[in-house]
């Protein structure tokens, strides 16, 4: 059950009868997530190493462990944290609707998303990179993708960053998720998958003989903790938790646990926060 941080339709109706705007009435009654005794957290369900459904109703991965650490710092014990699988396309909607209270799901902070979501963090700064089939030696960097097909998951902008951001002409192919993109790459339906290097490293660790990590990154992807829009108090508390996670070495331990078997160079210092606005 998600922590209810917004009043429902009855409150809106009451506000209308009192002759005040519904918005101001609702905001006046909001509580911060720092008051929560339980949390529903949105995580990915199909990204190895980050957020993966285990088949027994549980989830595992770096994002899952980060979410549990933050919840603990907010005073919410692990047994009171409910994980909900979300896709890239669903993250804003599930947070806005109140189905989840927090999103920790490789959720890149962007100006457009900031209009709907308050972001804590980032808790990690990934870099976009490229994964190709193991036998494909023709791609040594992003510019070698010119004229090739590149898959991105629904709700992501990874391929768009290549075409519009870098001016490289690729065929953009969209799949429901990055796990579907990886299946298409394995089958030869697309030539490459490009997204954050943590995501790619997780898939590579599962099947290292099938794929090759180009390991020539471009762009920074700031992974934020998605919070209800306007909950500045929770944002500040989340940032304090992330700082502690790095300073005491927990972040480094988690990164080693989930990505130590890959050649990925991981960030082990506190990222520069975006600010709680």
Q: Where are the chain's structural domains?
A: 9-124+223-259, 126-220
CATH no., domain 9-124+223-259: 3.40.190.10
Report pTM.
0.81
Fold agreement (9-124+223-259, 126-220):
yes
Topology given in CATH for the domain delimited by 126-220: D-Maltodextrin-Binding Protein; domain 2 (3.40.190)
Please list the residues that pair with 133 across neighbouring strands.
211
What pLDDT is attached to residue 16?
A: 36
Cα(52)–Cα(86) distance, rounded to whole angstroms? Answer: 11
What pLDDT is attached to residue 2?
A: 65
What pLDDT is attached to residue 7?
A: 28
What pLDDT is attached to residue 205?
A: 87
What pLDDT is attached to residue 36?
A: 95
Length of the chain: 277
Give the tens place of pLDDT for each residue, 64-80.
999 999 999 999 999 99
Give the tens place of pLDDT for each residue, 190-200.
999 999 999 99
3-state secondary structure of 172: strand
The parts of the chain modelled with pLDDT lower than 70 are 1-30
What pLDDT is attached to residue 65?
A: 98
Cα(271)–Cα(246) distance, rounded to whole angstroms? Answer: 9
What pLDDT is attached to residue 3?
A: 57
Cα(270)–Cα(121) distance, rounded to whole angstroms? Answer: 9
Q: Which residue has the tokens 């008051």?
A: 35
- Structure tokens belonging to residue 223: 């992974």
């Amino acid at each position: 059950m998600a922590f209810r941080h917004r009043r429902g339709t009855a409150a809106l109706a009451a506000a209308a009868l009192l002759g005040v705007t519904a918005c101001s009435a609702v905001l006046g009654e909001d509580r911060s997530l720092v008051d929560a005794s339980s949390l529903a957290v949105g995580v990915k369900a199909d990204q190895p190493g980050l957020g993966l459904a285990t088949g027994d109703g549980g989830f595992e991965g770096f994002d899952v462990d980060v979410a549990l650490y933050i919840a603990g710092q907010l005073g919410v014990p692990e047994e009171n944290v409910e994980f909900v699988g979300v896709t890239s396309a669903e993250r804003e909607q599930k947070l806005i609707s109140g189905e989840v209270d927090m999103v920790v799901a490789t959720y890149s902070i962007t100006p457009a998303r900031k209009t709907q979501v308050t972001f804590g963090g980032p808790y990690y700064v990934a870099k976009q990179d490229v994964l190709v089939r193991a036998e494909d030696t023709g791609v040594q960097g992003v510019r070698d993708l010119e004229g090739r097909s590149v898959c991105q998951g629904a709700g992501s902008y990874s391929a768009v960053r290549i075409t519009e951001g870098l001016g490289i002409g690729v065929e953009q192919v969209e799949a429901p998720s990055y796990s579907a993109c990886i299946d298409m790459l394995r089958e030869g339906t697309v030539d490459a998958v490009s997204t954050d290097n943590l995501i790619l490293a997780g898939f590579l660790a599962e099947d290292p003989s099938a794929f090759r990590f180009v390991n020539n990154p471009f762009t920074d992807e700031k992974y934020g903790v998605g919070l209800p829009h306007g909950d500045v108090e929770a944002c500040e508390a989340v940032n304090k938790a992330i700082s502690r996670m790095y300073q005491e070495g927990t972040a480094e331990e988690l990164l080693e646990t989930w990505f130590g078997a890959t050649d990925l160079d991981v960030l082990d210092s506190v990222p520069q926060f975006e600010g709680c606005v």
